[in-house]
Structure 1
Amino acid sequence: MRKGKIIFHVDMNSFYASVEMAEHPELRGKPLAIAGKVEDRRGIVVTSSYEARAHGVKTTMQVWEAKRKCPGLIVKPPHFDLYRSVSRKLFALLRSYTDQVERVSIDEGYMDVTSLTEDRHPVQLAQAIQQQIKDQLALPCSIGIAPNKFMAKMASDMKKPMGITILRKREMHKTLWPLPVSEMHGVGKKTAEKLVNIGIKTIGDIAHYPKAAFVEQFGKYGERLHERANGYDPREVDPEAESEFKSISQSTTLPRDIQDEEEARLVLHRLAYRLSRKLKEKRSLAYQLSIAIRYSDWKNISRAKTVQQPLQTTEDIAQLAFQIFSTHWNGEPIRLLGITVQALEPVTKASKQLDLFTYEQDASKEPLFNVLQDLEDKYGSSVVRLGIDDKQEKGK
């Protein structure tokens, strides 16, 4: 009987470009880039085919530079409705193997296949999944196999495209530890620079650094990094982490990149206020919340959490959003923040009665938030702080 968990991380290779090639076979084998429209910060490459990457085209590169590096580059705008449709088919395929599937983003997810590997080798199962995705969707993917989510994610990045990689804890000293810190999942560019500046150059250096000293320097974020560098990641594959139900979203591109936790808290609170208003307008409650962070280098992350007690008030939404943010923010400068509430239900169907006092208390803040919005639009997001929040923090 097999011991421990077997986790897959399924990562689609150059997803947007691969979907375009599947839809338009004449594009196959050609250098292709998917680029956003030329707007506030000019068009940038969202993703590109491996043929384009061979010429030096990279994600987040501006289109003019990509064309200079690859004169024959074909540039297509994104078709997000198509990508979402294909993503739904992908995850339906994965769930045909097991219901223990966690959708992390439109093109990647985790599978807990422990029960499926009792009489089947994990590599054989991964090959079957990979081939079925190729046959049914005409898309390439890489699959990482490991005893936990962090290691599975690291494994899937090691061989692209169409790779299958196993990472074992007993082999970490030769497979994971020699890698530079910049290649560790969860470490951004600025954090990598900070680590190198104090002599921590590899993942192995993190693993061997005294934990107490590391946590003292990097806080809870550092604690997570240290644990994962040593192969410890207790997170379960959570099928409820993201939902396909209807949702309401609010996001804002910041007038300048921010790297201050309190500024981020203020932005999230303002977004929570807007979401609360919309929920009340729709007379709905939310059972799931996700946040989106876009860093200054255009990398995006999205994380979600399902709750037992439904959300509607500004304070409840803001508190959960900040909790998720503080857990997953890697300390890098932020250019966009967003909150989405989903898994909505009418108030009349909710199991929890709304607290009328809290409801009215939220409503009483509306004039305040309108003033804050005007001030921030005019002078920037750091001009004001929420004294109400400061008092609540001190009172805890």
Structure 2
Amino acid sequence: MFAHAAPGASTPHAPPTYRHVLSPAAFTVHNPLRVVALIDSDAFYAACEQVRLGLDPDRPIAVQQWQGLIAINYPARKYGITRMMSVTEAKKKCPALICVHVMTYREGSRTPGYYADAQPSTHKVSLDYYRRESIKVLRIFQSTLPGAEVERASIDEAFFDLSAPVREELLKRYPYLAQVPADAPEGMDSPLPAAPVIDWAGKGHVLPVREGEGAEEEADDGWADVALSIGAEMVDRVRQEVRAQLGYTTSAGIARNKTMAKLCASCKKPFGQTILRDAAIPLFLRPMPFQKIRFLGGKLGDAIASAYDATTIGDLLSVSREDMQAQFGEEAGWVHQILRGEEYAEVRERTGVKSMLASKNVRPAIKTFAEGQHWLRVLASELALRLEEAREATPGVWPKTLVLHLRQAGEPARSRQCPFPFTPALSDEPIARVGERLLRELVGPGERIHKEVFNVSLGFAGLELGEQGQRSIVGFFGGREPEPPAELGGKRKRSATQERERATPSPEAERLGSTSNSNSNPNSNSNSPAPPKPIQRPQSQPSYTCPRCAKVLRPLASAAGEGEGEGDREEELARLLELLRAEHEDFHFALDLQAEDAVLEPVPAPAPAREERGEAGREREAPRKKRKRKEKEREGIAAYFQKR
């Protein structure tokens, strides 16, 4: 979760050397010439509607969802209008306020629209328009600065690591840095010569080093500040390009790491940018509430505030690293660093969407299967459109799994998932059909749902390039399959949450094959699975025996299709067996995860009498010791980020 300084790494105030400019091995997060920026779109949803409708940007505009406001532009904020305020209350403050309802889906509509009769009981909110506009902004970021690393942080903001293009520009402007002088006393590790004086005019708001008017000018400019000034020029160019092409204004922060860039980006909103030099960090951070920093809010923030009677970052600067680590564990060294503006998290370029989710809080609650079908079709329309857009951006991408989540009155969240087969003609119909199968599994037979459903979510997981041999939607429902897609892709790594959801084998596994069990303990919870036995593939019917529970898996011969050549049929049976084996191993892995959770939070049981315990008593001691080890691992700062 947290990035720490490497042993021997440069501190923020270490003088840059020729190595930092010329050696690729020094191009790391610890380089003193590093430049990171955050660009944040100003009131993005409201700006999207203002541009779409061709409204004057000086007019007060708000975006509403049902009767509440979810976005307010800056002219409207002058009237004291805030997010989550009701439309009625907002219009009392500003009668001229223009309220635009977000797009919604309704049953039978292939795409969302701006419906005047949109109601929570019949429609589902859509943010697709804002998502598409966000992608346009991101593409301008990438095309304007092709040498930068860009990490999309949310729908309306992105981080940039500008170190590479800044270093390239640095060598163009100051070519004497490209050659280590012959008389340099330490060779590549010799400090760079004195930096030139920086003209900060037009580069943005430069945070001061000390209090007082004009104090921002009184700092010793070094090469790290030169790098920041070049980065500021690049950020301004990107922001101007977004405004010219799309009409949206943005604000930005430029600093040496992600956290500092994020914190200073809001200093000059809207349509401004702020530069935070190393020398200005103490004055900037000292009066700031420390819980404003990411990860220092919530329970951890409350614990720190209580332990040190602190509110601001300045209140905590007298606390030593050793004291903080003694109080909150070894990981608390990160807190000590970030309070001083030090952070080493990477800007990670995200390669693409891995999952999609459409969710609806249902009012009134779903009471019948037919009502559930209605909402599934609405959610399926949204997923179909989003998958279509993803395939336009990345041809061949396809989800591995369709997942249905339900929340019912008085019950914990429940879910079912199954493989989602490929279909050449993408529409909401196959998504809804598979979703209805999962719904039936969750609520049981009959029209009446015994416990009302107040939230339903339908989502895709594991989006990646389609695999050779991917099952089609026709084959999924019992028919012959068309030719599989030509794209190839690797297998995805599932999260722990997804593995728990796979604890029950999917309907697809049951359809593809049959099982037999010769072991009286099919739910073996061994945390160290034995190496799987080789898959046996006799010509008649291949099978696989699980080394953990001795269950025998066999694909149904009918699932391989009829009328095919013997060689093709054997290949198909082998492929189906591979799917069965993977599904079964997932099942054991999920049981292992559940077993670990059970050890962490055991249900207390009365201890038997001493004379009755014997071997069974000793067997019970092992989980207790394991639980202590797990609890010890959760001590310190990490405990504030885990569920108990």
Q: TM-score, normalised by structure 2?
A: 0.41
Q: Is the 8 A contact 1:14 1:48 kept in 2?
A: yes
CA RMSD of aligned residues (A): 3.9
Q: Is the 8 A contact 1:17 1:34 kept in 2?
A: yes
Match of 1:390 in 2: 598
Match of 2:233 in 1: 124
**2:246 is equivalent to residue 137 of structure 1:** yes
Residue 286 of structure 2: SS of its match in structure 1? coil
Q: Is the 8 A contact 1:280 1:312 kept in 2?
A: no
Which letter does structure 2 place at the counterpart of 1:117?
Answer: V
Residue 59 of structure 1: SS of its match in structure 2? coil
Q: Tell me, in whole angstroms, the C-alpha distance in 1 between the residues paired with 2:59 and 2:419.
A: 50
Q: Is the 8 A contact 1:10 1:108 kept in 2?
A: yes
**2:102 is equivalent to residue 71 of structure 1:** no
**2:417 is equivalent to residue 278 of structure 1:** yes
Q: CA 1:26–1:281 in 2, change beyond 3 Å: closer, same or farther?
A: closer
Q: Tell me, in whole angstroms, the C-alpha distance in 2 between the residues paired with 1:196 and 1:14.
A: 32
Q: Tell me, in whole angstroms, the C-alpha distance in 2 between the residues paired with 1:91 and 1:31.
A: 26
**2:57 is equivalent to residue 33 of structure 1:** no
Match of 1:60 in 2: 84
Q: Tell me, in whole angstroms, the C-alpha distance in 2 between the residues paired with 1:232 and 1:352.
A: 48
Give how far 1:200 is off. 1.6
Residue 55 of structure 2: SS of its match in structure 1? helix
More strand by share: 1
> Of residues 139, 157, 162 in structure 1, which corresponds to 2:271?
162
Give how far 1:83 is off. 0.9
Q: Tell me, in whole angstroms, the C-alpha distance in 2 between the residues paired with 1:64 and 1:390.
A: 50
Residue 58 of structure 2: SS of its match in structure 1? coil
Q: Is the 8 A contact 1:148 1:233 kept in 2?
A: yes
Deviations 1:140-170 (CA, angstroms, capped at 9, x unpaired) = 1011101110011011111101111111232
Match of 1:200 in 2: 310
Q: CA 1:46–1:191 in 2, change beyond 3 Å: closer, same or farther?
A: farther
> Of residues 33, 44, 52 in structure 2, which corresponds to 1:23?
52
**2:586 is equivalent to residue 359 of structure 1:** yes
Higher relative contact order (CA 8 A, sep 6+): 1
Which letter does structure 1 place at the counterpart of 2:64?
Answer: A
Mapping of residues 171-182 of structure 1, within 5 Å: 171-181=280-290
Match of 2:260 in 1: 151
Give how far 1:184 is off. 3.6
Give how far 1:359 is off. 2.9
Which letter does structure 2 place at the counterpart of 1:311?
Answer: R
Residue 111 of structure 1: SS of its match in structure 2? strand
Q: Tell me, in whole angstroms, the C-alpha distance in 1 between the residues paired with 2:134 and 2:233.
A: 23
Deviations 1:268-312 (CA, angstroms, capped at 9, x unpaired) = xx76x73xx435355997279xxxxxxxxxxxxxxxxxx995227
Which letter does structure 1 place at the counterpart of 2:155?
Answer: I
Which letter does structure 2 place at the counterpart of 1:203?
Answer: I
Give how far 1:117 is off. 1.3
Give how far 1:203 is off. 2.0
Any gaps of 5 or more consecutive residues in structure 1? 255-266, 289-306, 320-347, 366-385
Residue 278 of structure 1: SS of its match in structure 2? strand
Match of 1:303 in 2: none
Match of 1:323 in 2: none
Q: CA 1:71–1:285 in 2, change beyond 3 Å: closer, same or farther?
A: closer
Give how far 1:52 is off. 0.8
Q: Tell me, in whole angstroms, the C-alpha distance in 2 between the residues paired with 1:388 and 1:192.
A: 28
Match of 1:5 in 2: 34
> Of residues 211, 214, 229 in structure 1, which corresponds to 2:339?
229
Match of 1:46 in 2: 70
More helix by share: 1
Which letter does structure 1 place at the counterpart of 2:320?
Answer: P
**2:128 is equivalent to residue 81 of structure 1:** yes
Give how far 1:48 is off. 0.3
Q: Is the 8 A contact 1:184 1:203 kept in 2?
A: no
Q: Is the 8 A contact 2:417 2:501 kept in 1?
A: no
Q: Is the 8 A contact 1:12 1:142 kept in 2?
A: yes
Q: How many pairs align?
A: 304
Q: CA 1:387–1:312 in 2, change beyond 3 Å: closer, same or farther?
A: closer
Q: Tell me, in whole angstroms, the C-alpha distance in 1 between the residues paired with 2:235 and 2:302.
A: 35
Q: CA 1:23–1:252 in 2, change beyond 3 Å: closer, same or farther?
A: closer
Q: CA 1:22–1:49 in 2, change beyond 3 Å: closer, same or farther?
A: same
**2:352 is equivalent to residue 249 of structure 1:** no
Match of 2:149 in 1: 100
Q: TM-score, normalised by structure 1?
A: 0.64
Give how far 1:112 is off. 0.7
Match of 1:370 in 2: none
Q: Is the 8 A contact 1:34 1:76 kept in 2?
A: yes
Q: Tell me, in whole angstroms, the C-alpha distance in 1 between the residues paired with 2:495 and 2:258.
A: 32
Which letter does structure 1 place at the counterpart of 2:134?
Answer: S
Q: Tell me, in whole angstroms, the C-alpha distance in 2 between the residues paired with 1:359 and 1:10.
A: 41
Give how far 1:390 is off. 1.9
Residue 11 of structure 1: SS of its match in structure 2? strand
Match of 1:238 in 2: 348
Any gaps of 5 or more consecutive residues in structure 2? 1-17, 22-31, 104-126, 171-229, 363-406, 423-459, 465-489, 503-574, 602-622, 631-644
Q: CA 1:248–1:26 in 2, change beyond 3 Å: closer, same or farther?
A: closer
Q: Is the 8 A contact 1:207 1:227 kept in 2?
A: no
Which letter does structure 2 place at the counterpart of 1:35?
Answer: Q
Q: CA 1:250–1:135 in 2, change beyond 3 Å: closer, same or farther?
A: closer
Q: Tell me, in whole angstroms, the C-alpha distance in 2 between the residues paired with 1:55 and 1:202.
A: 30
Q: Is the 8 A contact 1:142 1:156 kept in 2?
A: yes
Q: Tell me, in whole angstroms, the C-alpha distance in 1 between the residues paired with 2:420 and 2:281.
A: 53
Q: CA 1:195–1:187 in 2, change beyond 3 Å: closer, same or farther?
A: same
Q: Tell me, in whole angstroms, the C-alpha distance in 1 between the residues paired with 2:328 and 2:86.
A: 33
Q: Tell me, in whole angstroms, the C-alpha distance in 2 between the residues paired with 1:282 and 1:253.
A: 28
Which range moved further: 65-74 or 14-23?
65-74
Q: CA 1:315–1:129 in 2, change beyond 3 Å: closer, same or farther?
A: closer
Match of 2:537 in 1: none
Q: CA 1:147–1:78 in 2, change beyond 3 Å: closer, same or farther?
A: same
Q: Tell me, in whole angstroms, the C-alpha distance in 1 between the residues paired with 2:261 and 2:461.
A: 35
Match of 1:113 in 2: 162
Deviations 1:226-248 (CA, angstroms, capped at 9, x unpaired) = 432211221100012x6236x34
Deviations 1:51-70 (CA, angstroms, capped at 9, x unpaired) = 11111111233333323332
Which letter does structure 1 place at the counterpart of 2:132?
Answer: S
Q: Tell me, in whole angstroms, the C-alpha distance in 1 between the residues paired with 2:323 and 2:92.
A: 46
Q: CA 1:203–1:363 in 2, change beyond 3 Å: closer, same or farther?
A: closer
Q: Is the 8 A contact 2:499 2:590 kept in 1?
A: no
Q: Is the 8 A contact 1:9 1:156 kept in 2?
A: yes
